Chains A and B, each alone.
Chain A
Amino acid sequence: GAVVSQHPSRVICKSGTSVKIECRSLDFQATTMFWYRQFPKQSLMLMATSNEGSKATYEQGVEKDKFLINHASLTLSTLTVTSAHPEDSSFYICSASVPATETQYFGPGTRLLVL
């Protein structure tokens, strides 16, 4: 099946720093990738839709200047959390849609802890 990877799997950083998370589709091309966030005991919430070669579409309540998304190629999307604060600590997970089946395949997630 389709494989999506994320890097890093876990990151701890100081408040005020920026963190970049990479999402790669390893064996297929993804024109669209999605970024989700999951707080403890909560459901996954869609943050933004990342389209290759164009600007991301953000969900209501998600600050586009804080969560920078770049989708420069058909296999790579990046999420940068700028000036991270403790309330940004969460599980960030990306997914990519396989064009033929439209099944979404998810990466293993990145656990961010901001001290």
Chain B
Amino acid sequence: KQEVTQIPAALSVPEGENLVLNCSFTDSAIYNLQWFRQDPGKGLTSLLLIQSSQREQTSGRLNASLDKSSGRSTLYIAASQPGDSATYLCAVRSGGGADGLTFGKGTHLIIQP
């Protein structure tokens, strides 16, 4: 059974810093990996999706990497801003097509103004 772990569980940094969020998964046979953002009491916003054949994806100040063989992914946030404060979730899809996602518990990020 796939398990997803995110480290750290919480992180608080001053505005402007670059930071890295970590995600690991136990079964490397994944179809893709997705990073989401969740604001308090809200739904999820998809940030980046990395297919199993890819090694990284970039969107603006965000860069996500994937090392499938070691079961790891990182989300790099450059020049953090207070608006980046949220919970960041990592999720993997283990099968193609119709399989649902397995989520980590998330990293609660606070960017101090």
A residues adjacent to B (C-beta < 8 A):
1, 6, 32, 34, 36, 41-46, 49, 51, 59, 93, 95, 97, 101-109, 111
**5 other contacts beyond A95-B101, A102-B49, with CB at 8 A cut-off?**
A34-B100, A34-B101, A43-B104, A44-B89, A97-B98
A59-B31 Cα distance, complex, nearest whole Å: 19
Residues of B within 8 A of A59 (CB): 100
Are B105 and A42 neighbours in the complex by a CB distance under 8 Å?
A: yes
- Encode B29-52 as 1/0 by CB contact (under 8 A) with A: 001101010000111111001000
- In the complex, the answer to whether A106 meets B41 with C-beta atoms within 8 Å is no
Identity of the chain B residue whose Cβ is nearest the Cβ of A94 in the assembled complex: B43
Q: Does more than half of chain A's interface fall in helix, strand or loop, or is it mixed? A: strand
Q: Which of B43, B96, B105 contacts A93 (CB 8 A)?
A: B43
Chain A residues near B101 (CB-CB < 8 A): 34, 44, 46, 95, 104
Residue of B nearest to A101 (CB): B49
- B25 beta carbon closer than 8 Å to chain A: no
Residues of B near A106 (CB, < 8 A) are 36, 43-46
Q: Which of A6, A44, A111 contacts B103 (CB 8 A)?
A: A44
Residues of A within 8 A of B93 (CB): 102, 104
Q: State the Cβ distance, B109 to closest chain A Cβ, in Å.
A: 15
Contact A49 B43 (CB under 8 A): no
Contact A104 B46 (CB under 8 A): yes
Residue B22, interface by CB 8 Å: no
Which residues 42-64 in B have Cβ within 8 Å of A in the complex?
42-46, 49
Most A CB contacts (10 A, CB to CB) among B44, B93, B104 go to B44
